[in-house]
Structure 1
Amino acid sequence: MTASATNTAQEPVSLWRDRNFTTFWSGQAVSQLGAQLGQLAFPVLAVTLLGASEFEVGALNAAGLAAFLVIGLPAGAWVDRWLKRRTMIVAGLVRTLAMATAPLLWWAGVLQIWHLYVVAAVVGAATVFFDVSYQSYVPVLVHAAKVAQANSKLEATSQIARIGGPAAGGALLTVVSAPVLFVGEAAGYLLSAIFLLRTRDAEQPVQAKDRQPLVSEIKEGLVFVIRHPLISRIAACTGGVNFFTTLAFTLMPVLVLRELELGPQGMGLIMAVGAVGGLLGAVSAPRFAAWIGEGTAIPVASMISSLFLVLVPLSVLAPERWMSLAMLIVSEFGFAFGVLVYNIMQLSMRQRVCPPRLLGRMNASIRFVVWGVMPIAALASGLFAENLGLVPTLWIGFAGSAVCIAPVLFSPLWGMRKLPDGIHGP
């Protein structure tokens, strides 16, 4: 019996004994490890080997995120029509081919910054379809009572990859060139597709007679998000925070590699040790929520992540280089802890209250808002840095993110011991 087939059973199967979930989980673990190598490879290649300016770094980040703004909404409607596992397999193969082109162009001696823009854009477009399918697939794969637990396990694995990936990438960069890391990410995407081929579920495609015009289906998803009293606040908070944190984090490679001269190893260390905070947040999210309340955990986690972000602009003022490194590590640790608790709780709530037929469109509508602002912020980051300066832009990022937690800070989530469970919301 598949996990999805047990959704109607009274006693849900343990996730450890659910072969389909463990296969899916294993594939994502490998994929995440490879993706973390690419997270380090892109900025290192652009800044240190191609000499990218602040604006070019911002444009590179924007290219990777632009698809969430351009095709995010229709992607959700398409994903609701398609089989989600098949969509993820195709997206994984597209990302594999795209990532493999960068090292080939480098070894041919013709790689230019615009090539990285194209690679980032193609990978970003495939990621839109993969991520919307991924967020909509967990309720298909596991029992409804196991959704939060499944999300916690998947996010914990992602954070473990964030610990090992940047550290391994930083170490590899002492003996190999940055383009080699692209091969690692391509391999991770390929192995993910193979594991997905071995995963089984009982999902059935939507019949053509049950479909509405594409615009109507997109509108239905958007209206659900806007009208839901909690999901709308989550979207507003996350969208605003993502805009201002992207404004700051787009410039992290410039800050670490050029301004503070901490090197690729320093950047890998910041990402890896900071990811320990994310791992702690991922594994402790259910207990943290049980302690202070599932609803209360969301605004509290948003405050934690915002407060730790202030250490990023403050790191420039440190008198010693090691102090700057320590401040950035602490900042990344605390920020990641807060973000992971926040993400796990709000994602689990969204999956529980959304009708299954709207999952793809709901997730795509959220992604359109909260990720669609990121390419705009990435471009703005480069422009602000070149006209206002690096440090003032970092301060703007911190101040803006602190203000944008207001929608969840002043909301019914405070004091809510149990998040709503059912399609009608709170």
Structure 2
Amino acid sequence: MILPPRRSTRWSPAFRQLYAVSIGNSIGQQVTLLAVPVLAVAVLRATPAQVGLLGVLGTAAFLVIGLPAGVWVDRADHRRIMVVAHLVRALTFASVPVAWWSGVLTFGQLCAVVLLAGTATVFGDVAEQSYLPAVVGRDRLVAANSLLVSTAATVQIGGRALGGFLVHLIGAPAALVVNALTYLFAAVLVGRLRPDVTAPRPARPAGAFGRQLTDGVRHVSGNPLLRPLALSLAGINLTVNLTTTMLPVLFLRELGLDAVALGLFLGAGGVGALFGAMTARPLADRIGHGRALWVPGLVVAPLGALVPLVDTGPTLWLAGLGWLAMAWRTGIGNVIGVSLRQRVTPDALLGRMNAVFRFLLTGSIAVGAALSGLIGQVLGVRACLWIGAAAAALTWLPVFCSPLRRLVRPPLVATPHQPAPAAAGPPARTGR
């Protein structure tokens, strides 16, 4: 861990290295999000239920070990956890093309790969988000997260399109080689990261394991700012995944389109997420952080109904517009939401707070994938998209019905490195 940098318009070398790691991770993730379901549908002839199962397994680890992972992360070295997580993901994804070239690839192996990679992601993501406040300082979290989310959205635009072309040209199994290499690159870069100033490690959390875990849950569930934020973001993830899980089946099997078209459609979401990340900070400064979390959801709710209309011809473009609008709202929520979480949480609870949010947010993705597979199998793929759009239109309500509704700026908790200034806007406690 390192001391926060002095206020400057330039980023520290440590953050620049983390930024490069984020770019590599984003490339790998976008290729995976396209290559894995295409591999399942086009090569292994998976059913809608099996595609839904893959979506569940990719995030099931967050439901099983997501909460205790926060305690383990708070007890350990964050950088070392990130290195191990990147290496595990590199090895697991590299096994897919090896098995395919050997003629032994099965759907069972693909399920195991997705599950193991998801387990590594639990620890890697929680450790990275817990590491960021010490690298940039809490007063620069909105700017840092805006840059990270903007870059991830930019990569999403080109990454999914690139994934579509790679799958089309060399096949889905070979495309996963790119993913393995990006994680290997990230592991090497994090391993070489040397902060400018070494700060004392936070004190080991006091109390038994169960008590430490409970403290993290209580911090989120008892905080009037974090609780509605978690409910709203979990709802967004669940409803969006109702749609994304079935899109490969709809595009490749029912509409007869190829992986390139699917990649370009999903890439439109990257355009929206990028615009959302870029507008999040000025929007929050103008209307307040609280309103920036619910007003965009209310505005784009009608546009989400365009996505289930996706078809060949002009409706494909209309559906793409609706998908872009929904991603714009998500991009804003990512920047404002993550920054709010990190600002109101003490250093000693960062790992557990991030684990609770990862448990809820990524766990909701698993639930969405399971529901998507079930609905797609029983009622049809198109019905699944309509249900997702209808539910997504309501996900702004938890924030609207909470103290977040008019919050101008979140309070900043005191840390060992900096005192907490007076919060702008309505006061809010940070209950545990």
- TM interval, shorter chain, is over 0.9
1:61 aligned to 55, 65, 77, which one? 55
> Which sections of structure 1, spanning at least 5 residues, go unmatched?
none
| Matches of 1:279 and 1:216, distance apart in 2 | 40
Q: Deviations over 1:274-294 (max 9, x none)?
A: 211111111221112112222
| Matches of 2:314 and 2:334, distance apart in 1 | 30
The answer to whether structure 1 residue 43 and structure 2 residue 41 are counterparts is: no
SS in 2 for 1:71: helix
Identity of aligned residues (%): 38
Aligned to 1:341: 332
RMSD, aligned CA: 1.8
Q: Deviations over 1:242-287 (max 9, x none)?
A: 2222222211111222222221011111122321111111122111
1:124 aligned to 118, 125, 130, which one? 118
Indicate how the Cα distance of structure 1 residues 59 and 332 shifts in structure 2: closer, same or farther if over 3 A, else same: same
- Are the aligned partners of 1:81 and 1:205 in contact in 2 as well (CA < 8 Å)? no
1:299 aligned to 294, 300, 312, which one? 294
Question: What does 1:233-272 correspond to in 2, within 5 Å?
Answer: 233-272=228-267
- Are the aligned partners of 1:55 and 1:382 in contact in 2 as well (CA < 8 Å)? yes
Matched residues, number: 415
> Which sections of structure 2, spanning at least 5 residues, go unmatched?
415-428
Aligned to 2:221: 226
Aligned to 2:407: 416
Q: Deviations over 1:372-421 (max 9, x none)?
A: 13223212211111111222222211222223321112223333322222
Q: Which moved more, 1:386-395 or 1:148-157?
A: 386-395
The answer to whether structure 1 residue 166 and structure 2 residue 157 are counterparts is: no
- Are the aligned partners of 1:302 and 1:342 in contact in 2 as well (CA < 8 Å)? no
SS in 2 for 1:418: coil
2:307 aligned to 288, 309, 312, which one? 312
The answer to whether structure 1 residue 30 and structure 2 residue 28 are counterparts is: no
- Are the aligned partners of 1:97 and 1:186 in contact in 2 as well (CA < 8 Å)? yes
2:108 aligned to 101, 108, 114, which one? 114
Aligned to 2:420: none
| Matches of 1:141 and 1:298, distance apart in 2 | 25
Deviation at 1:148, TM superposition (A): 1.0
1:393 aligned to 384, 398, 401, which one? 384
The answer to whether structure 1 residue 80 and structure 2 residue 74 are counterparts is: yes
- Could you list the runs of 4 or more consecutive aligned residues of structure 1 that deviate by over 6 angstroms after TM superposition? none
| Matches of 1:204 and 1:261, distance apart in 2 | 58
Indicate how the Cα distance of structure 1 residues 344 and 263 shifts in structure 2: closer, same or farther if over 3 A, else same: same
- Are the aligned partners of 2:293 and 2:396 in contact in 1 as well (CA < 8 Å)? no
Indicate how the Cα distance of structure 1 residues 392 and 6 shifts in structure 2: closer, same or farther if over 3 A, else same: closer
Q: Deviations over 1:95-120 (max 9, x none)?
A: 00000000001101111111110000
SS in 1 for 2:170: coil
Question: What does 1:268-287 correspond to in 2, within 5 Å?
Answer: 268-287=263-282
| Matches of 1:382 and 1:334, distance apart in 2 | 25
- Are the aligned partners of 1:243 and 1:377 in contact in 2 as well (CA < 8 Å)? yes
- Are the aligned partners of 2:290 and 2:399 in contact in 1 as well (CA < 8 Å)? no
Question: What does 1:315-326 correspond to in 2, within 5 Å?
Answer: 315-316=310-311, 321-326=312-317
- Are the aligned partners of 2:297 and 2:395 in contact in 1 as well (CA < 8 Å)? no
Q: Deviations over 1:135-182 (max 9, x none)?
A: 111101112211111111111111111011111122223321111111
Give the partner amino acid of 1:360.
G
Indicate how the Cα distance of structure 1 residues 186 and 225 shifts in structure 2: closer, same or farther if over 3 A, else same: same
- Are the aligned partners of 1:79 and 1:360 in contact in 2 as well (CA < 8 Å)? yes
Aligned to 2:176: 182
Aligned to 2:207: 212
Deviation at 1:58, TM superposition (A): 0.1
Give the partner amino acid of 1:260.
L
| Matches of 1:407 and 1:166, distance apart in 2 | 31
2:369 aligned to 363, 367, 378, which one? 378
Give the partner amino acid of 2:228.
R
